[in-house]
Structure 1
Amino acid sequence: MQHLSYQPLLLNGNKYLQQKWDKASYEMHLRKVKSAKPTIDTTAPKTYGHLALKIKKQKFEEQREIQRENNMLLEKISHIMRTAGRIDNRNDYEKKSLCREMQQQELLRITKDNQLILLRLTQCQPHYSIKDWHEDWLKTIKLMESIARYPRRVSD
């Protein structure tokens, strides 16, 4: 029924053909409107980091905070130096062992054993005689001189 109410924009001999052309022209117009870009830039302006951050102000704030903390520490230290302080740092705690008596007994036993071994070592007589060793060495030298082709050099 649309074709009956259609009034062509341009005069043409065929109303149906003119309607088809007008519809195609209108669809092309809609596509162009959808893909059209604005001629005026409506985006937000660029924000530069150095303007937004204000680094100098941040450094100043940090230094002020550090100075405040230093002053607080200085005040605490001076208070402690003026007075005795709130904390008693003396440690009078004596280490307690559950088996201290057994350890002491074991230490005494080991000490006694060591003393007995030392006593036996000091009382022990040597098996070898130094005099016998010396005599045996002299015999060996005489034997070596008697069988040697060249006489032994005697150091002057």
Structure 2
Amino acid sequence: MHRSYQPLKPITNRYLQQRWDHNNYEHHRRKVSSTLPVVDNKGVRTPAHIQLKLKKVQLQDERLSIIDRDNCLLATKLADIVCSKGLVDHRNHSVQTKYVLIFVLSLNTDRRREELLLVGRQNQAIYQRITSRQSEYRRPLWSDDWERAERRRDDISRYPRRLAEKQRSHRKVKFAAVEGSEQETSCSNTDTDRET
């Protein structure tokens, strides 16, 4: 009896119930083995434009083209050296003039020198215009305007500033010294207020 199937619920046929439970269990195991994870833990797929990195490829191509060009130039120079049979180019194509060395090989030296002289003349003209210009600041007008503004402020204010400066006494008062010598000091407004 202990080996017989013991269902959880009361039933009429143990054998059928065992079969049904076994089928349900197998169906459950098949579903568990074929389930997919709910949480996607595969990570973010990198976009195609980041995988390929076209800018890096372009820079690499440009660098390789520069290297190829330099190699071609070097190869042509070496070929010229080999074909020249050891001859040396010792000709000086420059003509010495007064303080200026002009290269005959350069085609636009005259034009560059003319542009340089033109720029120098323009700079000199600008300097002359700046130094000959009179100043547009008029200090006497500013000082007259400032005095008018101070007069208006004194007229409007309850306690004018200039009146206080006029009332300040500039008299010398003699004080008895501690050790018998006399000192003369100027009196401030508070000292004159105490005297009066």
TM-score range, shorter chain: 0.3 to 0.5
Q: Tell me the TM-score normalised to structure 1 length.
A: 0.45
* Greater helix fraction, Structure 1 or Structure 2: 1
Q: Which has the larger radius of gyration?
A: 1
* Greater strand fraction, Structure 1 or Structure 2: 2
Q: Tell me the TM-score normalised to structure 2 length.
A: 0.37
